[in-house]
A = this chain, B = another copy of it.
Amino acid sequence: MNRLWIENGTFITMDDVKMVVQGHMVVENDRIVYLGEELPEQSLQQQAQRMSGSGLVFMPGLINTHGHAAMSLLRGYSDDEALQVWLEQYMWPMEGKYVDNDTRVGTSLAVIEMLKSGTTTFVDMYDRMDIVAEVVEQSGIRGWLTRGAIGLCSEEEQRQKLEEAINFAKNWNGKADGRIRTLMSPHAPYTCPPAFIEKFVQAAHDLDLPMHTHMSETAAEVEQNVRDYGCRPVEHLDKLGFFSRPSFVAHAVHLTDDEIALLQDRNVGVSHNPASNLKLASGVARVPQLLKAGVTVSLGTDSAASNNNLDLFDEIRLAALIHKGVSGDPTSIPALTALKMGTVYGARTLWQEDEIGTLKVGMKADFIALDVNQPHFFPQSDFISHLVYSGSGRDVRHVWINGRQVVEDGVCTLLDEERILREAQACFKALANG
Chain A residues within CB distance 8 Å of chain B: 72-73, 75-77, 79-83, 86, 109, 112-113, 116-117, 275, 277-284, 304, 307-311, 314, 317-318, 320-322, 324-332, 334-335, 373, 375-376, 378-382, 385-386, 389-390, 392, 394-395, 417, 420-421, 424-425, 427-429, 432
* Copies of chain A in the complex: 2
Q: Output the nearest chain B residue to A307 by Cβ-Cβ distance.
A: B389
Given known contacts A281-B324, A308-B390, A325-B281, A331 and B375 CB-to-CB distance under 8 angstroms? no
**Which of B80, B109, B113, B385 lies in contact with A331, CB distance below 8 A?**
B80
Question: Do A385 and B335 touch across chains, with their CB atoms under 8 A apart?
Answer: no
Q: Which residues of B contact A317 (CB under 8 A)?
A: 314
Question: Do A375 and B116 touch across chains, with their CB atoms under 8 A apart?
Answer: yes
* Subset of 27 A-B contacts with CB under 8 Å: A73-B379, A75-B381, A75-B390, A79-B335, A80-B330, A80-B331, A81-B330, A86-B330, A112-B375, A116-B375, A117-B376, A278-B321, A278-B325, A279-B320, A279-B389, A281-B324, A281-B327, A282-B325, A284-B326, A307-B389, A308-B390, A375-B421, A378-B421, A379-B425, A379-B429, A392-B394, A394-B395
Q: Output the nearest chain B residue to A111 by Cβ-Cβ distance.
A: B375
In the complex, what distance in Å separates the CA atom of A380 from the CA atom of B424? 9
Question: Do B376 and A424 touch across chains, with their CB atoms under 8 A apart?
Answer: no
Question: Do A424 and B389 touch across chains, with their CB atoms under 8 A apart?
Answer: no
Q: Which residues of B contact A283 (CB under 8 A)?
A: 325, 328
**Which of B275, B322, B381, B424 lies in contact with A76, CB distance below 8 A?**
B381
Question: Do B386 and A324 touch across chains, with their CB atoms under 8 A apart?
Answer: no
Given contacts A77-B381, A281-B332, 17 further A-B contacts (CB under 8 A): A72-B378, A75-B381, A76-B379, A76-B385, A76-B386, A77-B382, A79-B334, A82-B330, A278-B324, A279-B330, A280-B324, A281-B325, A307-B389, A308-B385, A326-B326, A378-B421, A378-B425
Q: Output the nearest chain B residue to A313 by Cβ-Cβ distance.
A: B392
Q: Which residues of B contact A117 (CB under 8 A)?
A: 376
Q: Output the nearest chain B residue to A432 by Cβ-Cβ distance.
A: B381
In the complex, what distance in Å separates the CA atom of A73 from the CA atom of B324? 23
Minimum CB–CB distance for A79 against chain B, Å = 5
Q: Which residues of B contact A392 (CB under 8 A)?
A: 392, 394
Question: Do A75 and B425 touch across chains, with their CB atoms under 8 A apart?
Answer: no
Q: Which residues of B contact A275 (CB under 8 A)?
A: 321
Question: Do B79 and A389 touch across chains, with their CB atoms under 8 A apart?
Answer: yes
In the complex, what distance in Å separates the CA atom of A79 from the CA atom of B330? 9
Minimum CB–CB distance for A108 against chain B, Å = 9
In the complex, what distance in Å separates the CA atom of A425 from the CA atom of B381? 8
Question: Do B376 and A311 touch across chains, with their CB atoms under 8 A apart?
Answer: yes
Question: Do B329 and A389 touch across chains, with their CB atoms under 8 A apart?
Answer: no
Q: Which residues of B contact A116 (CB under 8 A)?
A: 375
Q: Which residues of B contact A330 (CB under 8 A)?
A: 80-83, 86, 279-281
In the complex, what distance in Å separates the CA atom of A304 from the CA atom of B379? 11
In the complex, what distance in Å separates the CA atom of A304 from the CA atom of B79? 30
Question: Do A75 and B325 touch across chains, with their CB atoms under 8 A apart?
Answer: no
Question: Do A379 and B280 touch across chains, with their CB atoms under 8 A apart?
Answer: no
**Which of B373, B386, B420, B424 lies in contact with A421, CB distance below 8 A?**
B373
Q: Which residues of B contact A79 (CB under 8 A)?
A: 334-335, 382, 385, 389
